[in-house]
A and B are shown apart, each in its own frame.
Chain A
Amino acid sequence: MPINEKGGAFNPLIVAFCCNWRSYAGADLAGSSRLNYPVNVKVIRVPCSCRVNPLFILRAFQRGADGVIMCGCHPGDCHYTSGNYFARRRTALLFSMLDFLGIEKGRTRVEWVSAAEGAKFANTMNQFAETISALGECKRLEDIRCVESEI
């Protein structure tokens, strides 16, 4: 999984956890509307933003992600009524903790994206990729075994 193509420009690897009911559909709409967003955004579909275990976010960084973004239904719109409210509290605390440990805070983000917001999805990803490109490779939360070794 080469993130930094040898000799080439830095292409940040971004993992986007998207809720099945709205944000994933939003990503779909962005695609079918032929809106551009970086190819290195890897979308992982989850049943609800509430399904995103903090461990998932850390594991994404372990495996070489340079930024992790979580997208869910707008507050009040959750398919399961309240999942995203819980997710909101968890991510706020987790991101604050990562900041506390000295991990650059721009590397994590939460956006609420509805099924109708294909343009918002594409814009968000473009902006986020820009932020991450400016930050460079994630060195502080990487697992050297996954990133550097040939094995």
Chain B
Amino acid sequence: MRRIRDMMRSRAGELLREGTVNRVLGWKNGEFYYDPNPAVFETEESLDGLVYNGFSAAMLSKYLIDATKKEGRILVFLKPCDTYSFNHLLREHKVNRENTYVIGVGCDGMLDIEKLRTLGVKGIKSLDENGDDLVAHTLYGDKTLARRDILLEKCLSCKGSEHKVYDELAVVDDPWQWDTLDRFAKVGELEGMTPDERFAFWRGELSRCIRCNACRNACPVCSCLKCVFDNPRSGVQAKSNADSFEENMFHIIRAFHVAGRCTDCGECSRVCPQNIPLHLLNRKFIKDINAFYGEYQAGADVEGKSPLTEYKTGDVEPSVVYERGGA
């Protein structure tokens, strides 16, 4: 990924210099190796701070909603899965394509700092990415971890290395590759449980929710100007989980509002401070949509309609839910 970073820096510099773009949206280095934050670079000199590594997971597509309303063209770096979200925002006319210059960047899978911590790595001073391994230099000595073990949940079922939209690519011929898992496996496992077990599972997970709204705010397709949960007159308390109903309601509605639009980017679960597997709710909708209305991948195309904005006269009846098998 260092090679890709160097390509990114030099191309961004050229594009700024020749005036093709007036800003660059990328990731800026932080205090530690694992905490780059999204940032806008306006000068060639500032590009020294541009980084791209296994911790550049924060998706940049959503920032374009605001950024492309501004004067001039902005260069943005999109990983393969980020391009789906970008496409979906294009379809909904939320971003201005003409004001955007997309460089598709290759991705070796993004890493999860929480998994590192769970594996007992603490006091990280710096990290080195080396092929299959990641070496952590810590206050308590060095530790080597297999990259496969610390991949982000979303990357375990990667949608592939193809960029769905780009103006140019910054990729390498020999990216790091890994075996991907079936993304619906866990959903299927839950479907196989009894309702009581499912209820207990979700209570255990959702009871941890602190209503920080990170899942909503980080979601690239949660792009309403004013969210129903931010409206003090809506009667839905946005800031607190007064009881289990509010936890359930918030998460059902959050997932429902992006049903048919969710690209399965997994940002909701990545940003959750309590590590709630929120992507399972979204994947349940995706799985149902695929089964009821035909295979659909949001963000694969710019044209066409999403499943909840169209219909067929022969669609399944809602009774399918209680007629199909299972407990």
| A interface with B by C-beta (< 8 Å) | 54-55, 58-59, 61-62, 75-76, 82, 85-86, 88-106, 108-110, 140-145
Show 7 A/B contacts (Cβ-Cβ < 8 Å), sorted by A. A93-B259, A93-B308, A97-B256, A100-B187, A100-B198, A101-B199, A141-B248
The 10 closest A-B pairs by CB, nearest first: A102-B199, A85-B311, A102-B198, A143-B245, A92-B318, A110-B318, A95-B321, A91-B318, A102-B195, A105-B322
Q: Which of the four size classes fits the interface of chain B?
A: 35 or more
Known: A92-B315, A102-B195. 5 other contacts (CB 8 A): A59-B235, A90-B308, A97-B284, A100-B190, A105-B322
Point out the residues of chain B lying under 8 angstroms from A62, CB to CB: 245, 249
Point out the residues of chain B lying under 8 angstroms from A75, CB to CB: 313
Point out the residues of chain A lying under 8 angstroms from B252, CB to CB: 54, 58, 94, 97-98, 101
Known: A86-B308, A89-B308. A54 touches B197 (CB 8 A): no
The residue on B at minimum CB distance from A83 is B311
Distance of B100 from chain A, by nearest CB (Å): 32
| B interface with A by C-beta (< 8 Å) | 187, 190-191, 195-202, 228, 235-236, 242-246, 248-249, 252-253, 255-256, 259, 281, 284-285, 288-289, 292-293, 307-309, 311-313, 315-322
Distance of B202 from chain A, by nearest CB (Å): 5
Distance of A51 from chain B, by nearest CB (Å): 15
Distance of A77 from chain B, by nearest CB (Å): 11
CA distance A108 to B246 in the complex (A): 19
Task: Contact check, B284 vs A100: say whether CB atoms are below 8 A apart.
Answer: yes
Task: Contact check, B202 vs A88: say whether CB atoms are below 8 A apart.
Answer: no
